[in-house]
C-alpha cells in the first residue's frame, strides 16, 4: 500500500483495496455502458509459467475473476493469425474468451492481421499471406475476421467491440497497406489501406451486426483527426475510435504526464466533434514499479476526472495490468527484451503458500476499474 498525504483519498483507496476480498455478487453492466477493462492477452502464457494471483488478503484467485471482483467489467483479447508459439492464435483466444463469457464480462476482440504484434512501427503481413495481391489480401482479411468471429459465435460468445487492426496510424499489412515511408506518402496507400479496413469492417458486421467496430491508433496526445478524415474519404468505416495512451513515457513524448493527459482529452473532444462517434482509451498504461505507484495513481485519477465528464467517452482498457515480478513472455525472451514495465499488479504473500509469488492489483488499477 502506498502512503498518501491526503487522508480522504487514503480512505477511499483503503475501501477499494478491500472491495475485491472474497466473492462478490457480480451484476453485469449493460452493453453500451462505460467500459472498465483490461487487455490480459498474456494471461494463459503466464499461467503456463506458474504465475499465480490472489486477493488483497492473499487468498488465491483466478486472475480474471479477481479483476472482476475488484470492479473490472470488460476484457480485451488480441488475435494473431499464426504466431509460432501458438499464444494469441485462435485456439488460445477461445480459451480466454470462454472464461470472459463464463464470468459475464464484456468482450473486445482486437484483430492484428499479423502473426505478431502490430503497431505503428511494425505491421507485418502474415507469413501465409506474403505473396497475395490486393484482392487476395482483402479476401484474407475478410476470411480471417469471419473465422475468428464465427468461432466465437458458435460458442454463444458475442463481442461488444471488434478492432480492425491495431495501432494502424501507418496502415496495415505492409507493404501493401502502408501509408508512408521515409520518402513520404506512398501513392495509393490510403486507398489500399482503407479497402483492407473496410473488408474487415464488412466481415465483422456480417457476423455481429450490433458490435461496435473500432479503428485504433496510438498517441492519444497527438491531433490525429486527419487520419480518420482520410480513412473516411477513401471508403473506410468505423463505429468508434480507439486510442492508446501511455502518459508516463516522457522519453517518447518529451512531455509531462499532466500535459499528456490534457492533450489526450482535447484530442478526444476534437475527434468526437468532427466524427460524432464514441471515443475510448483502448490501451492505457502507467509505470508499474513500486517507486512509481503514487504517481501512477495520480495519473489515472487526473485522466478519469476529466474523461468521465464527457458523456460519449466509452471507457478504458489497461494494457496487460496482470504482469508483475519481472515476468516476460516467451517471445520477449527469444529476442532478449526486458520485462514489460507498465503492469499494474504488485507482489503479495499468500498465507498458505510461501513457495510462490502471487500478484494482486495496485491502487492505480483499482481506481481505474472502480471509477
Q: Helix 63-70 crosses helix 363-370 at what angle (to 10 degrees)?
A: 60
Question: Angle at the Cα of 235 (from 231 to 236), degrees rounded to 5?
Answer: 50
| pLDDT at position 333 | 85
Chain centroid offset of residue 365 CA: 14
Element (H, E) at 47: helix 43-48
Query: Residue 364 corresponds to which cell in the numbers above?
Result: 492505480
Element (H, E) at 79: strand 74-79
User: Domains of the chain, with CATH numbers?
Assistant: 36-370 (3.20.20.80)
Query: Residue 359 corresponds to which cell in the numbers above?
Result: 500478484
| pLDDT at position 371 | 86
Half-sphere CA count of 360, side-chain side, radius 13 A = 22
Which residue(s) pair with 111 in the sheet? 79, 164
Q: How far apart are CA 324 and CA 26, in angstroms?
A: 26
Nearest-10 Cα torsion for 265, 270, 271, 276: 120
pLDDT along the chain (371 residues), means of 10: 35 41 72 96 97 93 98 98 97 98 98 97 97 98 98 98 98 98 96 98 98 98 97 98 94 90 98 98 95 95 97 98 95 89 93 89 96 86
pTM of this prediction?
A: 0.93
DSSP string of 123-160, one letter each residue: -BPPGGGTT--HHHHHHHHHHHHHHHHHHHHHTT---S
| pLDDT at position 1 | 34
Which burial class, exposed, middle or buried, applies to 367 when counting CB atoms under 10 A from its CB (0-12, 13-18, 19+)?
buried
Return all residues near 102 (Cβ < 8 A) that are at least 6 apart: none
| pLDDT at position 17 | 42
| pLDDT at position 20 | 64
Helix, coil or strand: residue 67: helix
Kindly provide the b/e burial profile for residues 154-179, where b requires at least 16 CB atoms within 10 angstroms of the residue's own CB.
eeebbbbbbbbbbbbbbbbbbebbbb
Closest CA to 87 of 121, 112, 54: 112
Amino acid at each position: 500500500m502506498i502512503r498518501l498525504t491526503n487522508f480522504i483519498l487514503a480512505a477511499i483507496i483503503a475501501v477499494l483495496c478491500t472491495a475485491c476480498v472474497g466473492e462478490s455478487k457480480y451484476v453485469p453492466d449493460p452493453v453500451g455502458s462505460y467500459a472498465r477493462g483490461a487487455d490480459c492477452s498474456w494471461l494463459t502464457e503466464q499461467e503456463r509459467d506458474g504465475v499465480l494471483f490472489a486477493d488483497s488478503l492473499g487468498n488465491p484467485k483466478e486472475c480474471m475473476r479477481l479483476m472482476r471482483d475488484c470492479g473490472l467489467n470488460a476484457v480485451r483479447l488480441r488475435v494473431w493469425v499464426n504466431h509460432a508459439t501458438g499464444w494469441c492464435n485462435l485456439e488460445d483466444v477461445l480459451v480466454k474468451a470462454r472464461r470472459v463469457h463464463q464470468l459475464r464480462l464484456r468482450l473486445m476482440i482486437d484483430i492484428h492481421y499479423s502473426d505478431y504484434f502490430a503497431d505503428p512501427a511494425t505491421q507485418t503481413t502474415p507469413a501465409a499471406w506474403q505473396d497475395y495481391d490486393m484482392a487476395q489480401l482483402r479476401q484474407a482479411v475478410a476470411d480471417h475476421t469471419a473465422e475468428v468471429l464465427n468461432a466465437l459465435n458458435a460458442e454463444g460468445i458475442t463481442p461488444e467491440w471488434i478492432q480492425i487492426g491495431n495501432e494502424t496510424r501507418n496502415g496495415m499489412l505492409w507493404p501493401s497497406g502502408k501509408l508512408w515511408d521515409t520518402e513520404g506518402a506512398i501513392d495509393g496507400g490510403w486507398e489500399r489501406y482503407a479497402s483492407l479496413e473496410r473488408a474487415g469492417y464488412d466481415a465483422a458486421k456480417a457476423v455481429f451486426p450490433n458490435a461496435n467496430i473500432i479503428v485504433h491508433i496510438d498517441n492519444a496526445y497527438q491531433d490525429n483527426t486527419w487520419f480518420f478524415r482520410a480513412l473516411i474519404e477513401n471508403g473506410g468505416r468505423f463505429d468508434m475510435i480507439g486510442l492508446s495512451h501511455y502518459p508516463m513515457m516522457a522519453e517518447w513524448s518529451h512531455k509531462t504526464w499532466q500535459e499528456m493527459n490534457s492533450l489526450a482529452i482535447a484530442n478526444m473532444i476534437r475527434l468526437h466533434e468532427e466524427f460524432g462517434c464514441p471515443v475510448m482509451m483502448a490501451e492505457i498504461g502507467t509505470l508499474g514499479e513500486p517507486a512509481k505507484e503514487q504517481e501512477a495513481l495520480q495519473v489515472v485519477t487526473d485522466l478519469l476526472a476529466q474523461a468521465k465528464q464527457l458523456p460519449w467517452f466509452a471507457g478504458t482498457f489497461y494494457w496487460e495490468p496482470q504482469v508483475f515480478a519481472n515476468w516476460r513472455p516467451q517471445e520477449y525472451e527469444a529476442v532478449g527484451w526486458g520485462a514489460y514495465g507498465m503492469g499494474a499488479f504488485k507482489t503479495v504473500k499468500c498465507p498458505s503458500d510461501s513457495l510462490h509469488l502471487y500478484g494482486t492489483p495496485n491502487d492505480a488499477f483499482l481506481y481505474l476499474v472502480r471509477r
